[in-house]
Amino acid sequence: MKHTILFTLTALLMATTGLAFGQPVVTWASDPVRPDETVLLRGGGFGTQPVVEFARLDDGDPAAANQPALTWVKLPVLQPGDDALKFVIPADTRPGVFVCRVVADGAQSAPVLLNRPDVWWLQGDAGPGATTGGWLRIFGKCLGSDAASVRVQLFILKGKGLPIVLRAEAADGWSLRCPVPADLAPESYTVRLHNGQGGAGAWCEAGTVAITAPAPWPATIYSVLEPYGPDAVRDMRRTLVKYGQPVERTKGVLAALAKAKANGGGIVYFPAGRYHLNAPLDVPPRTLLKGEGMGLATLWWGNGKFNLDGGGDQGLAKEAEPEPPANLISGPAFGIEDLSLYLPLAHRTGIEGFGEVRLRRVRVRVDHLWALDGNKRPEGLVARLGRNFEVSDCDIIAKGTGLVPGEYGVITHNRILAGKTPCPLGGSRGVIVEDNQFVSTYPTAYQNIAGVGQDLYYARNRHEALSAHQADFSFTFDAGGSAYRGAVAAVDGTKLTLAADPQFPTWANARHGLWRKAVVGVVLGKGSSQWRGVRSFAGREWTLVEPFAVAPDEGSVVTIVPLCGRSLIVGNRFEDANWVNAGFGCGLDVIYADNKLVRCAQLLNYGLASPEALLPNFNVQCFDNELSEGQGSIEVNGSVRPAGSFSGQITQNVIHRRERLTEDNSGGIVVQGASREVIVEGCSAAHPASSIRVDRGSSGVLLRHCRSAAGELRCEGAVQVP
């Protein structure tokens, strides 16, 4: 029956479509959207006088075999063009899942469903998969905010039978969490999702996930104090007295690690005490370093005094010490729990995880950190994380960088203070960063997604700065480089031929791994604002993951850039930042929702065009963000450097809804530069000095239901204000 349900709506809608040659095609639609709000449709073949037909799906039983017939209405079209148009959902429509189609020159587009779940990626306790008794997370938009109404179903990938229903919890519209039953059969499953609205026609095929049986690590305990006799535990506990100095126990630690290695893993246990180590720890696979408690067991690689003397300066002097090892703790798959680590001041990397790494209840400090030169931003990394990692409930002070994530991991409920950056996300994929406190200890610390990064859920984190009003603790998608900007010679499905040779930047040649994460984006002409992933390339011949819905032609301009985007920035509090942005350079498919910006300069997205590179901003949507204190503005910009070096719009498809600039914030809202297809709707600026304006150079801008305390809406560009 599942296939009947899946195809019923499509058949119903297509029955009257005609599917004529040259029919209009929709490539992107803006949602989520509410009644009396505007929808942006991008695509091609809309002609000069397109018509939009609209209906609402009935909220019937999602398991029903048939979708009730639709009642279509024609809606007025705003700012029509051959590849873009806008229309407003009627105010008297009940919230739910909507469907629309474009009619042009007697032909109709395929139906477009709005507010139906759109799943971007799946992630579980086993990375891209999950284990029985573990958890599965689903990320995207329109997923449903009422967990009780959400339905998640699993079907065995190669088999038949009734669906297995998972219970959803912790739903916020952008993320769902589902416990995986312990008795679920390990299999590969297809996942289907319903957000509780739209009946049988509103299911989303969410992808596939492999469910496996958990593989517990060996639990044999090896005490690091075993070689030191029966009184060793009592003697070590004495080192916890104030000003008590660590005791050298490297031999015992290495012996315990050797036993764990011979056993195929195990628990290397540190009873309470302060341990001085003079060698790096090479941790064998499936081994856990576990202390008696985060405040009871400390590992220290320093020399000189461990404690400061509160009455004098004896502890301030830093004695000369040899260069520490490149990695103090390293291994392919290991864990650290209930320990404190004190890293040498000159450390390069404290923890190097080549694969599955789990840090739980770990405190990290840096020896003599106060002796840093304040004239330059400090270096040094606490932990580099591999694939399928977890960092939870940790307390970290980093000299330079806190955590560098890899792929598929969770960073949650931590406190991280850092001089350079707490948790850079450039190069990451499938990373959940939620409910953390991030504090900058240097005035120009930052938190960024640099160059490449995708499938990132960044939620309910708090950013603070010790340097207060002099701080610039920015959160940013930073510019990378491009391998090509120019025309295409031919497009045939997934095969794309460039009109000229690619020009890779000197710091990332054709063999660099960066280009295995590349996308081709259409920035001008036919097919504009689409992007597709790259599967392979050789010279001018590039193979895409999937074809363009509207293929670019010889008049189009494309760019090849690393994918930076597909990210959800939700419910965070940012303080004392210059900018919080969705692209200083590339930002593709980014959501900012329910964030609070306090004493920040800008909520910004900023595409960049230069003679060497085109770095586009496409499909950036911002909802219900609040900017307070100072002069913080919302800015949509497309920068062309130098002027005249690019003739198109580098920033396209931007939505700002229900943004609030508070009475103690004299900033405004501005759309400017090479920006195209922008909706600013239901936004307000409460300070008398605030304004909402559209400058020359932008096009396809719609201001609707916006309020400025000064009553000022200044429009110099191509704009419509209903």
Give me the half-sphere count of Cα atoms (radius 13 Å) on the Cβ side of residue 578. 12
**Band of pLDDT at residue 160, cut at 50, 70 and 90:** confident
Question: Which residue bears the tokens 């850079």?
Answer: 424
The mean pLDDT of 283-312, rounded to a whole number, is 90
pLDDT value of residue 378: 87
CATH number at residue 511: 2.40.30
Q: What whole-number distance in Å separates Cα of residue 131 and Cα of residue 209?
A: 10
Give the sign of the dihedral formed by CA 91, CA 92, CA 93, CA 95: positive
Q: Which residues of 406-415 are buried (b: 16+ CB within 10 A; e: fewer)?
A: bbbbbbbebb
Q: Who wins on pLDDT, 12 or 691?
A: 691
Looking at 503, 537, 562, the residue that finishes a domain is 562
Question: In this structure, is residue 120 part of a structural domain?
Answer: no
Q: What is the pLDDT of residues 201-213, one digit of tens each?
A: 999 999 999 999 9
pLDDT value of residue 4: 35
Cis peptide preceding 642, ω within 30 of 0: yes
Q: What is the pLDDT of residues 387-412, one digit of tens each?
A: 999 999 999 999 999 999 999 999 99
Looking at 179, 212, 245, the residue that finishes a domain is 212
Is residue 179 scored above 60 in pLDDT?
yes
Q: What is the pLDDT of residues 656-670, one digit of tens each?
A: 999 999 999 999 999
Q: Name the helix (H) or strand (E) containing 282.
A: strand 281-282
Question: In this structure, is residue 124 part of a structural domain?
Answer: no
* φ, ψ (nearest 5 deg) of residue 432: -105, 120
Question: Which residue bears the tokens 């600039």?
Answer: 661
> DSSP label at 201?
G
Residues 447 and 540 in one domain: no
Question: In this structure, is residue 569 part of a structural domain?
Answer: no
Q: What is the pLDDT of residues 43-52, one digit of tens each?
A: 999 999 999 9
Q: What is the pLDDT of residues 90-143, one digit of tens each?
A: 999 999 999 999 999 999 999 999 999 999 999 999 999 999 999 999 999 999
The mean pLDDT of 636-647, rounded to a whole number, is 94
Residues 174 and 265 in one domain: no
Looking at 456, 476, 496, the residue that finishes a domain is 476
Residues 389 and 299 in one domain: yes
The neighbouring-strand residues paired with 418 are 398, 440
Residues 202 and 72 in one domain: no
Residues 228 and 345 in one domain: yes
CATH number at residue 106: 2.60.40.10
Residues 259 and 353 in one domain: yes
Residues 376 and 450 in one domain: yes
CATH number at residue 385: 2.160.20.10
Q: What whole-number distance in Å separates Cα of residue 562 and Cα of residue 508?
A: 11
Burial class of residue 55, CB neighbours in 10 A (0-12, 13-18, 19+): middle
Asked if 617 and 528 count as a contact pair (C-beta separation under 8 A), the reply is no
* CA distances to 230, 619, 625, 718 from 659, in Å: 66, 17, 5, 22
Is residue 180 scored above 60 in pLDDT?
yes
How would you classify the pairing of strands 684-685 and 437-440?
A: unpaired
Per the structure, how many domains does the chain have? Answer: 5
Residues 197 and 243 in one domain: no
- How far is Cα of residue 438 from the mean position of the Cα atoms in its chain? 16
Cis peptide preceding 285, ω within 30 of 0: no
- Count of residues in the chain: 722
Residues 159 and 252 in one domain: no
How would you classify the pairing of strands 602-609 and 614-615?
A: antiparallel
**Band of pLDDT at residue 11, cut at 50, 70 and 90:** very low
Question: In this structure, is residue 573 part of a structural domain?
Answer: no
Q: What whole-number distance in Å separates Cα of residue 432 and Cα of residue 292?
A: 28
Question: In this structure, is residue 612 part of a structural domain?
Answer: yes
User: Distance from first CA to last CA of the chain, Å, rounded?
Assistant: 46
Coil, strand or helix at 636: strand
Q: Where are the alpha helices (DSSP H) in 32-122?
A: none
The set of residues, in sequence order, having a beta carbon less than 8 Å from that of 467 and lying 6+ positions away, is 440, 442, 443, 576
Residues 105 and 133 in one domain: no
pLDDT value of residue 385: 97
Is residue 5 scored above 80 in pLDDT?
no
Q: What whole-number distance in Å separates Cα of residue 531 and Cα of residue 589?
A: 10
Residues 464 and 495 in one domain: no
Q: What whole-number distance in Å separates Cα of residue 364 and Cα of residue 378?
A: 16
Q: What is the pLDDT of residues 362-392, one digit of tens each?
A: 999 998 887 666 777 889 999 999 999 999 9
User: Which domain range does residue 591 map to?
Assistant: 578-720
Residues 590 and 689 in one domain: yes
**Band of pLDDT at residue 16, cut at 50, 70 and 90:** very low
% residues pLDDT > 70 (the chain): 94
Report the 3 state secondary structure along 571-604.
Answer: CCEEECCCEEEEEECCEEEEEEECCEEECCCEEE
Give me the half-sphere count of Cα atoms (radius 13 Å) on the Cβ side of residue 30. 33
Burial class of residue 123, CB neighbours in 10 A (0-12, 13-18, 19+): buried
Question: In this structure, is residue 634 part of a structural domain?
Answer: yes
Question: In this structure, is residue 45 part of a structural domain?
Answer: yes
Question: In this structure, is residue 571 part of a structural domain?
Answer: no
pLDDT value of residue 372: 67
Coil, strand or helix at 528: coil
Q: What whole-number distance in Å separates Cα of residue 583 and Cα of residue 609?
A: 13
Q: What whole-number distance in Å separates Cα of residue 359 and Cα of residue 362?
A: 6
Query: How many beta carbons lie within 10 A of that of residue 522, not counting itself?
Result: 26
> DSSP label at 483?
S
| pTM for this entry | 0.95
pLDDT value of residue 3: 36
